[in-house]
Structure 1
């Protein structure tokens, strides 16, 4: 689980300062305020860490099949503030609750640009178990390796260039001798945390009438939810202890949302093609023939049960095309699945209904304020600004920004005023 994030000179952000990340973290704010940039920073590191080229410093994307996001060029990532240096940095802390050799650690990396336009690591800092290891870029592309508070480097040269932003080179590991194993374990722990990120974007594929099945389980659901149906087919058709686990979980939440009674995987005759059947009020319909809201929320529900335990699920606008009651139920989904499966949710949303239900769950003590973080993002001049919403044990927000969700009371008063004016004018 990621427990802290900080961005400096990254896209809309001059400096986020330290952002606390909890099992359930919600990002709210106006359009184009910078919410997505917070999410994208972790996606940038994930696609860099899984790059087939270990010498890459930062994978800005461009491969539509393998990359999560296309960041463009260095200039597109750098915050466009004339007063800042031409570098940006990303840092985070993680805690995997004792799953790996390194249970807690920190990552910080700053990036610059060469004269040829390439993005390069300027400084990589890894921390764990009270130790600190640095790789600092010097002249002509050489890197110095420093440990803890050492003023003199352990080594210096081109052979010590970091790999994929997160790892020290084999030469650096060797020169660190006994400390090399700790650095290697730390890099593996960081890579594992990044690999556990699962991202579902706001644009999801429309359903087909039927689907083939290759008799295997997909690796992930994809950023557009393209693998969600494959996950459902595998859940229903592959025998084992977890058969129908995903299908049953999805069905349960479709029912709680009031959009369906259950979901069924049905084979078409004796063919190798299958259809998804949505049951509601005694009527069975193909997924293609029901409202778009069902198909759009389906990947959200699938990934919640398909993601391996301990994953970090990043969601953008999970509420899209859902009616208010269903949007509210998403809050309960996140709380329940996070607790049940050890899943971390980072959610960007515009939904007042989702947010209000979270307040209620905190007030009911169904959700813990300590396990929940909510942030409001707004634009201030050229940079984004982050406001931590101060929520008490009764779910009340003490510092809610004015007017974001509109003014419901003010609208009611205005309607009443207009009604009285019309009645008076008509002599009623």
Structure 2
């Protein structure tokens, strides 16, 4: 699980400071304020560690098939008002069972631009609770490798350059002797943590009337939920201990949201094509024939049950096209699934209903304020500004931002004032 995130001079952020990430983390705020940038920093590292080119320092994207985002160039990523040196940094702490032999650690990397315009690591700092490894860029692409707090480099040379932001070369590992395996385990733990990220974006696929299935289980649901249906079909049709586990979980939450009673997978004759049938109030309808909100929330519910334990699920606007009650129930989904399946949720949302239900869950003591982090992101000139929403044990916000969710109380006062004025005018 990711425990902290740090960005400096990265896109909208001059300096985030240390951002605590909890089992459920919610990012709220105005449009184009910098919420998505917090998410994108982790996705940038994820697509870097998955790059087929191990020598790449940072994969800014461009491969429409394999990359999550195309970040453009170094200048597009660097904060517009960046100070000297013209560098940006990404850092995080992690703590979780996905890390293998290394249970917790820190990653910090600073990136600059070479004379040819490419992105290159300037400093890479990898730590466990007791060990520290640094790679520091020198002239002409050479690197010095430092271990712990030693004042002199262990290694120097161009063949010790970092790979995919999280690892050192095989030469460096070999020449570090007994420290090499420790560094290798740490790099593997960081890579696993990044690979465990599952991202679902705000734009999801429209439903089809029927779907083919090749009798396999997908690796993930895709950033637009394209493989969510395959995951449902695999759950319903593959034999094994987890048969119908995802389907039953999805049905349960659709019922709680009051958008359906249950979900059914139905084969079309003896073909390899299947329908998704939505049951509600005794009526069975094809997924294509019900409201768009059902098809848009399906990938959210599927990923909650499909993601392996230990995953970090990043969601943008999970509430899209849902009515207020269903939006509120999403808060219960995140809290319940995070606890039951040991997954982490990082959610970017504009939903007041989701936020309000999370406050209620805290007041009910169904989740503690320590298990949930809430942030409000706003602009301060050219830079994004992060406000930690301080909640008490009753879910009340102690530092409510101006215009957080509009001005509901102000609207009520204005309506009352206008009603009074019109009533007085009618009497005169």
CA RMSD after TM alignment = 0.9
CA contact (8 A) 1:277 1:284 kept: yes
CA drift at 1:427 = 2.1
The 2-side partners of 1:376 and 1:40 are apart by 17
Superposed counterparts of 1:66-85, under 5 Å:
66-85=66-85
Give 1:10's aligned residue: 10
Give 1:173's aligned residue: 173
- Is 1:329 matched up with 2:329? yes
CA drift at 1:94 = 0.3
Deviation string for 1:121-153 (max 9, x for gaps)? 111110013111000100010000001111111
Structure 1 unaligned segments of length 5 or more: list them.
none
Superposed counterparts of 1:192-271, under 5 Å:
192-271=192-271
Superposed counterparts of 1:316-395, under 5 Å:
316-395=316-395
- Is 1:288 matched up with 2:288? yes
Deviation string for 1:253-306 (max 9, x for gaps)? 000001000000000111110010000000111000100100000000000000
Change (3 A) 1:84 1:282: farther
The 1-side partners of 2:102 and 2:62 are apart by 33
The 1-side partners of 2:332 and 2:43 are apart by 26
CA drift at 1:98 = 7.4
Deviation string for 1:174-226 (max 9, x for gaps)? 11111111000000000000010000000000011000000000000000000
3-state SS in 1 of match to 2:71: coil
With the length of structure 1 as denominator, give the TM-score of the two structures. 0.99
The 1-side partners of 2:299 and 2:128 are apart by 36
Q: Runs of 4 or more off by more than 2 Å in structure 1?
A: 82-85
3-state SS in 2 of match to 1:130: coil
Give 1:30's aligned residue: 30
- Is 1:408 matched up with 2:408? yes
CA contact (8 A) 2:3 2:92 kept: yes
3-state SS in 1 of match to 2:427: coil
Superposed counterparts of 1:81-96, under 5 Å:
81-96=81-96
CA contact (8 A) 2:143 2:160 kept: yes
Aligned residues: 428
The 2-side partners of 1:244 and 1:80 are apart by 50
3-state SS in 2 of match to 1:149: coil
CA drift at 1:83 = 2.9
The 2-side partners of 1:201 and 1:173 are apart by 37
CA contact (8 A) 2:14 2:82 kept: no
Superposed counterparts of 1:133-212, under 5 Å:
133-212=133-212
The 2-side partners of 1:145 and 1:82 are apart by 28
Change (3 A) 1:254 1:343: same
Q: Which moved more, 1:245-254 or 1:126-135?
A: 126-135
Superposed counterparts of 1:114-133, under 5 Å:
114-133=114-133
3-state SS in 2 of match to 1:166: coil
CA drift at 1:417 = 1.3
CA contact (8 A) 1:9 1:84 kept: no
3-state SS in 2 of match to 1:394: coil
Give 1:314's aligned residue: 314
Q: Which moved more, 1:96-105 or 1:13-22?
A: 96-105
With the length of structure 2 as denominator, give the TM-score of the two structures. 0.99
Change (3 A) 1:67 1:82: closer
